[in-house]
């Protein structure tokens, strides 16, 4: 085979691979948030945000996420101890806040959750999260 | 890379993979629990024996207001844990993992579940019933029980796990997240971290070992 042709085939293969990698990393929800999610959320809410029977609400209800953009940081940081209706089902199990998370980590996990399951795909900055945390009731 | 090298690499990877098998295969399960020295007199000779204590005298009330005693678990295989329904931290995960074991042995009458609440103020029988319904479990198989403070903490001591009131813990109670595997003679045969998926898988596998042992007796 012609050497030049081999070089062309090989380099175009590498290029396609690179393009694919870049495309994938951009279209996927932020990975830092995924780590926070798996360490602090997934054991109850599930890897796919599916929740658990009628005990733990799923995180895949985009209506709930869209309506609670301002509450998300407070729920993660300080927990929740009241009834929530998600996908038409009532959930009453209290959730503990994860106090050790920094605003940056909360922003990462919020971006991960909203990137995967909301319709608005809202993006949070750490600064925004800090303000939201300051307004928690 | 040449073809034989690729094969070698793939072989090494698959070998390594098989080494980090998550569930450990066991032939026999240990017996745990506190022991007592028993001295008997046989034909004028003193025989000293180390006997494992059996946790075989308790009476508790389940989510259907039915009295459940050790006799209900005789000859069975059962898993014991301590929890409370308002627990915001580890209990939902424990319940989720316990439900996984429940699902694995749903049709098997030999396998039962016994969850003790340690919140004696809030976890009334109707509250336990509500919690059980949310998970969709049968009270014939999974008993969520109330035994009162003294009895429950005493039982926790017998199972050698911690359970106590603690104002500094989220929800007001401190307790172990252990799943305790019990045999048909009310002896402890294994401890597992109920908050971990790996331990849950191990427990599902170990029940099979215990079933084999009990069915051979």
CA angle, B134 as apex, B133 and B138 as ends, to 5°? 35
pLDDT band at B15 (very low <50, low <70, confident <90, very high): low
- 3-class secondary structure, B6: helix
CATH code for the domain of A63: 1.10.760.10
- Joined tokens for residue B74: 């005789």
Among B122, B138, B125, B124, smallest CA distance to B88 is for: B122
Q: Is residue A82 part of a domain?
A: yes
B135 contacts in chain A (CB < 8 Å): 53-55
Number of A/B CB contacts below 8 angstroms equals 41
pLDDT (tens digit, 9 = 90+) per residue, A113-129? 999 999 999 999 999 99
Look at the block and give the residue holding tokens 């596998």.
Answer: B205
pLDDT (tens digit, 9 = 90+) per residue, B154-176? 999 999 999 888 888 888 888 89
Among B162, B182, B143, smallest CA distance to B33 is for: B182
B152 and A CB contact within 8 Å: no
pLDDT (tens digit, 9 = 90+) per residue, A51-76? 999 999 999 999 999 999 999 999 99
Q: State how far residue A78 is from chain B, nearest Cα, in angstroms.
A: 12
Write the CB contacts of B156 (distance below 8 Å, at least 6 apart in sequence). Answer: B82, B116, B118, B162, B163, B175, B176
- Joined tokens for residue B127: 């509250």
Domains in chain A: how many in total? 1
User: Between residues A107 and B4, which one has the greater pLDDT?
Assistant: A107
For all residues of chain B together, what is the average pLDDT? 91
Q: Is residue A73 part of a domain?
A: yes
Q: Is residue A42 part of a domain?
A: yes
- What ipTM does this complex have? 0.78
pLDDT (tens digit, 9 = 90+) per residue, B61-102? 999 999 999 999 999 999 999 999 998 888 899 999 999 999
- Structural domains of chain B in order of their starting residue, each with its CATH number: 60-216 (3.40.30.10)
Q: Is residue A17 part of a domain?
A: no
Predicted confidence at residue B10, as pLDDT, reads 67
In angstroms, how far is the first alpha carbon of chain B from the final one? 57
The residue segments making up the domain with residue A92 are: 29-134
Interface test with A, best of B85, B88, B103 (most A CBs within 10 A): B88
Q: Is residue A45 part of a domain?
A: yes
Predicted confidence at residue A135, as pLDDT, reads 94
Q: Is residue A24 part of a domain?
A: no
B89/A53 Cβ within 8 A = no
B170/A53 Cβ within 8 A = no
d(CA B193, CA B153): 19
A55 contacts in chain B (CB < 8 Å): 92, 95-96, 131, 134-135
């Amino acid at each position: 085979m012609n050497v030049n042709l081999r070089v062309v085939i090989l380099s175009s293969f590498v290029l396609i691979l690179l393009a694919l990698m870049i495309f994938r990393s951009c279209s996927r929800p932020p990975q830092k948030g995924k780590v926070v999610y798996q360490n602090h959320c997934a054991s109850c809410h599930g890897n796919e945000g599916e929740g658990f029977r009628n005990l733990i609400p799923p995180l895949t209800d985009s209506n709930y996420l869209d309506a609670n953009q301002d509450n998300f940081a407070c729920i993660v940081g300080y927990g929740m101890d009241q009834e929530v209706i998600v996908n038409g089902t009532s959930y009453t199990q209290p959730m503990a806040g994860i106090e050790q998370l920094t605003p940056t980590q909360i922003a990462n996990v919020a971006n991960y959750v909203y990137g995967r399951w909301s319709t608005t795909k809202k993006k949070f900055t750490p600064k925004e999260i800090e303000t939201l945390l300051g307004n928690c009731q | 890379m040449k073809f034989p090298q690729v094969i070698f690499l793939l072989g090494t990877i698959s070998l390594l993979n098989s080494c980090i098998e998550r569930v450990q295969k066991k032939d026999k399960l240990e017996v745990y629990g506190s022991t007592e020295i028993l001295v008997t007199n046989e034909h004028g000779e003193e025989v000293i024996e180390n006997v494992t204590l059996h946790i075989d005298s308790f009476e508790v009330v389940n989510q259907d207001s039915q009295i459940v005693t050790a006799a209900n678990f005789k000859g069975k295989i059962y898993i014991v844990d301590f929890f409370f329904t308002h627990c915001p931290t580890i209990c939902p995960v424990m319940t989720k993992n316990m439900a996984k074991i429940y699902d694995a042995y749903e049709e098997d009458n030999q396998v039962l579940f016994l969850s003790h609440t340690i919140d004696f103020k809030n976890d009334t029988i109707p509250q336990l019933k509500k919690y059980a319904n949310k998970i969709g479990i049968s009270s014939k198989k999974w008993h969520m029980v109330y035994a009162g403070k003294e009895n429950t903490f005493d039982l926790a001591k017998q199972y050698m796990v911690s359970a106590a009131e603690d104002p500094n813990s989220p929800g007001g109670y401190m307790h172990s997240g252990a799943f305790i595997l019990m045999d048909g003679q009310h002896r402890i045969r294994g401890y597992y971290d109920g908050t971990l998926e790996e331990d849950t898988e191990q427990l599902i596998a170990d029940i099979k070992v215990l079933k084999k042992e009990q069915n051979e007796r």
